Each structure stands twice: as structure tokens, then as C-alpha cells.
Structure 1
Amino acid sequence: MHYFRVKEDNSSLYTGRVEGRHKWGLPGIRNCPACKASWGTDTRAYPSVDLTPVVTLADFEEPRAEPIEEYERLCELVRPLLPPGALLQPGAALGPLVGRAQGNFGPLVAPSSWGVLLQREALEKLQAEGLRGLKGCGTQLRFRQRNSPELLELEILPGGLLHPDCLPPNRKPPCPRCGRRGLTRPDDMLLDASTLPTQSDLFRLEDFSTVIVCTERFVEACRRLGLDGVSFQPLPMK
């Protein structure tokens, strides 16, 4: 099996643009008591999560940094609502993508390097091909045009790691309290074959959440069906 990174297609002639963020999110961490770092990122998203049952919903509406104790408290409120296999991190995005969209969109859309949208017809075609792990979630995007497409966001669960051989040999272990790794993603990535999931054709790396990976089955189905709008970069593994 071969694997590929799913990225924006800078050569595409599609003009579609999306501006928005997810409806809710966890706060970042301010001054972790163990590693002293302040950090958070919304590159791990779970658009299927509905937080409306949470009484203190306002705690998830404004991006901000909080002491780690408050972050951990909010994690426990969210955890029962997560899809199986989900991992949390400071700043994790939750709920539907809200914002504006305009232009001409292809079947697949990568508004960022860590998210994938697609039109409903494209999702149905891929699912009919038997591809595994594809879950489309509704968005709340306002279009500036008539005859706008229905764009869904793929909920991409974590799975797989980079191989230690492509990481700095003197790297420190993750912070035992907040989990921060403090590593820059290497330019030449090498997947750790022993960690890759076997039940999904699309996943997000556990250790570098900006990297979305798909199988060759996913790439072949997209090419056979004429589903364009993103690019596929081969990733070696060991």
C-alpha cells in the first residue's frame, strides 16, 4: 500500500475561497506548569460534535488561552461527545465550519493544509467505491452567489506517526502534562508503517495534525471518478 499527503492544489483553475472557523473550540493553554509553554492550534477538528447539550456553552465560543486546569476541565465536558478514536489538543476545533464562501468550487476543496471539504455528490461517489472512514459533516457557509454548492467537511480522525528517522535525534519527549512536542514538521516526511491505520483510507497524523494522509485507493478512486480540486503528494514509509 502506498500513501499520499492531501494538499491544496495550487495549479487548480477553481476560484473557490472559504473564510471561516468552527463554531466552537477548546481554549489554548497558558503557561503550562510543566513545560512553561503557551500554545494551542485548531488544526485538529471534529465537525460532527454538537456541544449544545453543554450547559456552559459560552466557554467554547471565544478563542483564548486558559490555565491548564481550566483546559482540562473543559476537555472532560467535551470528551463524551467525541467520535470514537478522537484525540484532543489545546485549541481543538468543534462543530460545523461557519463563515463565507465564494467562487467556483471543484468536487474536492482544501481551504487549508489541514482540512478537506467536498461536494455531496463527490462524497457519495467515493463511498460507493467502498472507501473507508469517510464521514461528511454539514457546514454553515454563506455563499455570495446563486446556485451555490453544498459543501461538506470531512471529519478526519487521527492515525499514524512519522518515523523517528525523519525527526531530530536529540528531540525531547512530549510534555507529560500538556502533551506539547515542540517539533517542527520535517520537510522530508517518512511515515512509520507500523503505526498506520488499516481501517481508514483517510486520516490525520497523530503527531503532526496539519498532515492529512490518504491511501492509494483514495487517490485512484478520485482519478477514476474525475474528482479534482486537491493534490496528492507521495509519502515514503519505513
Structure 2
Amino acid sequence: MSRFFWMHEDKAAAAKYGGEINAWHKLSLPGVSCGTCGETWAHTGHEYPCVDLAQLPERNEFARPRPEPFPEFARLRELVRPLVPPGAELPPGTGFGPLVGRATGVFGPIAWVWGQKLLVQREALSRLHSEGVQGLQACPTQLRFRQKDPPELLELQIEPHGRLHPDCIPPDEPPPCVTCGRFGLTRPDAPILDAASLPTGLDLFRVGNFSTMIVGTERFMEAVRRLDLDGITFQALPAH
């Protein structure tokens, strides 16, 4: 079975290049104010930069972050469902469309935004494809640079798949809300992947029930290291 690695921003590489990005997705599902569990919340880690909502007449309803009662949130979620990959969970706060904002300085082959979003230069993406890395989908950004001849940074659409193994989740953790689906899980100190739930034919994904965790396969890690694409550190993750 392939080995899996939890990926983090390489702060030393970021400091070496010195580039900075202040950007986010301008369109998103609203948050939820749930009458069942009493929580008001939105997710991070669910983003579809390759999904264009411009064709929707209701596009402006996704432009202002705010909480909505669950029925209104569910109505808006169904409007975008035909545009996203089959099976996408689309929790509150799911973002859509290109990354918009400002960028300054120099960037290496791989760059991060707030330690959560992974950007690649086009040449690096081509080299990863040539190494046989599977399932990479990258989308143009709308970053504004001050310098001449700015780099072309593409955002990887990294979709949530798989789950953390129940063995690393406290047994007294409350189950997800039956209405809004909120699961108030704090990241385990020693996360374990549920091997049976992990995707095949995909070398980069987020953990489905903890989507701020970006995971790469051994093939992805080896390709990054062979190509000397600095910007990522890799932490081995057990899978049971």
C-alpha cells in the first residue's frame, strides 16, 4: 500500500524567496446558523477554484460572507451542486472561483496562501505531470503584482477525500449535527488515516472530515523531491 504524507508549508523556503500573497476566493457558500445544534459556523479547506459561478443568475448571493438559517443555506447549495464534482459535500463556507488579491516579491516553484492553499508555477505543474503524478487540477488565479513580468501562479484544486480513522477520534466526541452536519472535531494529536476510505488514482487530496489537512502520496513526495521543488515539508501519516 502506498504511504501517505501530511504536507505543510516549508517556512524556510518561503523566507528564502520572500514572496507574499494576500488573497482569497470572492465567492462562497454562506455560513450556517443552525437551529438544531445552536451553532453558527463555516468551514475552511473546501474550495473549488476551477468552478465558475458567473453563469448563475444568483451569483451575487455568494459574494457576501454571512450566516444563514439552514433552509436558505441548503437552497443556495443546490444552486451550485450541478457545477461541482460529483459527491462534493459543500459545507458552509465552501469557496468558488479564482483566488483574488495581491502578491508581491519572488516565488519559488510552490507557494502557499495562509498555509492552507497550494499554488504552483506552470512549469512546476508540467514537470509534476511528466513525472506521472495523478489527479492534479490547477486553475488560474487573479493575483495583482506590482512588478514587471510577474510569475504565473496556479491554484491547485485539492478536493476532500477519505477520512481520519475512528481510532484517533475520541470516543466521547459528539456525532455530526443531523441538520447542518457540523462535526466539532479538534485535530487529533496523532492523526491516523482510514485506509479503506482513501482515494485511488489521486496523489493529492484533503482529508474529508478534516479538510485543512493536505495529504500527498509517496509518489507525489518523491516527484517533488526528484524535481527539487522546494516549498513543502512532508510528515508521514499512518493509515490503518
Give yes or no for TM over 0.5: yes
Kept in 1, the 8 Å contact 2:133–2:203? The answer is: yes
Deviation at residue 232 of structure 1 after TM alignment = 1.3
C-alpha distance in 1 between matches for 2:42 and 2:90: 11
> Could you say which residue in structure 2 is the equivalent of 1:5?
6
Residues 161 and 207 in structure 1, CA contact (< 8 A), matched pair in contact too:
yes
Q: Secondary structure of 1:214's partner?
A: strand
Alignment match, 2:17? 14
CA distance in 2, matches of 1:85, 1:136: 20
Give me the whole-angstrom Cα distance separating, in 1, the residues matched to 2:213 and 2:230. 19
Show CA shifts across 1:51-85 (max 9, x none).
11111111000111111111000001000011234
Count of aligned positions: 237
Q: Choose which of 133, 147, 151 in structure 1 pairs with 2:149.
A: 147
CA RMSD of aligned residues (A): 1.1
The answer as to whether partners of 1:162 and 1:207 remain within 8 angstroms in 2 is: yes
Q: How does 1:33-182 map to 2 (within 5 A)?
A: 33-182=35-184
**Matching residue within 198, 210, 213 for 1:196:** 198
Q: Give the conservation status (yes or no) of the 8 Å contact 1:5–1:214.
A: yes
Between stretches 81-90 and 177-186, larger displacement belongs to 81-90
**AA of the residue aligned to 1:16:** G
CA distance in 1, matches of 2:226, 2:207: 26
Shift of 1:228: 1.0
Structure-2 residue corresponding to 1:29: 32
- Once residues 7 and 24 of structure 2 are traced to their aligned partners in structure 1, the CA distance between those partners, rounded to angstroms, is 20
Structure 1 stretches of 4+ moved >4 Å: none
What stretches of structure 1 of length at least 5 have no aligned partner? Answer: none
Query: Does the CA-based 8 Å contact 1:137-1:154 persist in structure 2?
Result: yes
Amino acid at match of 2:125: L
**TM-score, normalization by structure 2:** 0.95
> 1:115: Cα distance to partner?
1.4
Other structure's SS at 1:75 match: helix
> Residue type matched to 1:46 in 2?
Y
One-letter identity of the residue aligned with 1:204: R
Partner of 1:206: 208
